[in-house]
Amino acid sequence: MIKKITTLPGDGIGPEIVESGKAVLQVIADLYGHQFEFQEGLIGGAAIDATGVPLPDETIERCQSSDACLLGAVGGPKWDQQPPHLRPEKGLLAIRQALNLYANLRPVQALDALIEESTLKPEVVSGVDVLIVRELTGGIYFGEPRERRTIDGEEGVVDTLVYKKSEIERLLHRAFQFAEIRGKHVTSVDKANVLESSRMWRECANEVATHYPSVTLEHMLVDNAAMQLIRQPKQFDVLVTENLFGDILSDEASMITGSLGMLPSASLNGTAFGLYEPVHGSAPDIAGLNQANPLATIASTAMLLRYSFGLLEEADCIEQAINQVLLKGYRTADLTNANAISTEEMTKAVIKEIKVAI
Ligand code: ATP
Ligand code: MG
């Protein structure tokens, strides 16, 4: 199989962890007889420094001409004083919009090797396997108007929450399709007791559900969902929700299974193309120190192979290698206080497991 992958290293630890992901993808290509052609693009602070904008057109074109993208992270204190349209994070929002990446997937799985690392009790965490499907290109993040204005003679502010029905439906279809090949249960999260958008969301979920008779649908209010995720996370299979709720719930869920340094994500449009990145940020405090945990990025490459290339065996191989290195006790600094290994050492350990497995 010949595929083109654009890497977007970005800022902070981004270049180090993307290097790890690339190395793993290269090993998979060599071992399974695929050809992955890599090209690189600028995004975030690195792009601002080089071109003056957080997402140059050239980066968008490179992504559009490739089969998948692997992104590191963007942002850092260096660019915090920039005006809003020139912040690194704007690059991320812009690329999601430009590539119409409306479905954000965040799997949260309890790895046996890290059960003790969780903030929750082992019996609550063990066996957790949730797929959070978050709407990514609509909602209050993008609605207009959004402005400061005078309201009843005093200073005020307006943000607007907008969804088209088609935007809600296409996301719900993706969620039900994932549920069909997983645990056959969808929890649709909203605030239908308060928001009109949530009432439409609920209607759409009920309608879409009729197309997937093998999947059960449950509605849950977002405040309750926040509580249930901590109380009994095993009740969830696919959790689907709108942009802002999904942002908050997925950060919360990330703590169920231990470290931020472990969690991958995918952002998909209606095609096979996807943008894959770790859930964590650019970790400027440890940038360039060869200390970052590369496993979230490596796990993101497994999602890339699975969802964009359909290489299920290769994806499983990477995930099993991650599990193995953790079972063997390898830990980067974010996961241990003693005997931490470096980014490069962790990457080599994963590659060694992949080679042993094949
Ligand atoms: P963002 O706003 O981009 O989400 P953030 O401010 O939430 O970023 P991160 O950059 O994710 O934060 O970092 C939060 C903390 O977690 C930092 O102390 C950072 O060093 C640590 N951290 C994040 N990712 C990793 C990683 N891959 N390996 C080790 N530590 C990490
Ligand atoms: Mg954050």
Evaluate if residue 353 carries a pLDDT over 90: yes
8 Å CB contact between 272 and 239: no
Residue nearest to atom 21 of ligand 1 (CA): 283
Coil vs helix vs strand at 37: strand
Quote the pTM value: 0.93
Residue nearest to atom 25 of ligand 1 (CA): 261
Evaluate if residue 246 carries a pLDDT over 70: yes
Ligand 1 pocket check for 334: Cβ under 6 Å = yes
pLDDT (0 to 100) of residue 129: 94
Coil vs helix vs strand at 83: coil
> Which ligand neighbours the alpha carbon of 334 most closely?
1
Q: How many Cβ atoms sit within 10 Å of the Cβ of residue 355?
A: 12
8 Å CB contact between 249 and 132: yes
Q: With left for phi above 0 and alpha for psi between -120 and 50, is residue 152 left, alpha or beta?
A: left
Evaluate if residue 116 carries a pLDDT over 90: no
Percentage of the chain surpassing pLDDT 70?
100
Residue in 295, 334, 350 to alter for ligand 1 test, most ligand atoms within 8 A of Cβ: 334
pLDDT (0 to 100) of residue 341: 97
pLDDT (0 to 100) of residue 35: 98
pLDDT (0 to 100) of residue 216: 98
Per-residue model confidence as pLDDT tens digits over 271-320: 999 999 999 999 999 999 999 999 999 999 999 999 999 999 999 999 99
Per-residue model confidence as pLDDT tens digits over 86-114: 999 999 999 999 999 999 999 999 888 88
Q: How far, in Å, is the centroid of ligand 2 from the Cα of 251? A: 8
DSSP of 102-139:
-EEEEEEE--GGGGGGSSS-HHHHTT-EEEEEEE-SSG
Q: How far, in Å, is the centroid of ligand 2 from the Cα of 93? A: 14
Which atom of ligand 1 is least distant from the CA of 293? Answer: 28
Report which of 56, 132, 138 is spatially closest to residue 96, judged by C-alpha positions. Answer: 138
Residue nearest to atom 17 of ligand 1 (CA): 283
Residue nearest to atom 22 of ligand 1 (CA): 283
8 Å CB contact between 300 and 294: no
Coil vs helix vs strand at 351: helix
Residue nearest to atom 13 of ligand 1 (CA): 283
Report which of 224, 256, 255, 258 is spatially closest to residue 241, judged by C-alpha positions. Answer: 224
Which atom of ligand 1 is least distant from the CA of 283? Answer: 10
Q: How far, in Å, is the centroid of ligand 2 from the Cα of 279? A: 8
Report how far residue 18's alpha carbon sits from residue 71's, in angstroms, rounded to the nearest whole number: 7
Q: How far is the first Cα of the chain from the last one, in angstroms, to the nearest whole number? A: 18
Domains in the chain, start-ordered, CATH in brackets?
A: 1-104+260-358 (3.40.718.10), 119-257 (3.40.718.10)
Q: How far, in Å, is the centroid of ligand 1 from the Cα of 100? A: 26
Per-residue model confidence as pLDDT tens digits over 210-238: 999 999 999 999 999 999 999 999 999 99
Q: How far, in Å, is the centroid of ligand 1 from the Cα of 286? A: 9
The residues assigned a catalytic role are 141, 191, 223, 247, 251
Ligand 1 pocket check for 16: Cβ under 6 Å = no
Report which of 254, 296, 260 is spatially closest to residue 277, judged by C-alpha positions. Answer: 296
pLDDT (0 to 100) of residue 200: 98
Ligand 1 pocket check for 255: Cβ under 6 Å = no
CA separation (Å) from 80 to 89, 198, 355?
10, 34, 42
Report which of 224, 194, 189 is spatially closest to residue 205, judged by C-alpha positions. Answer: 189
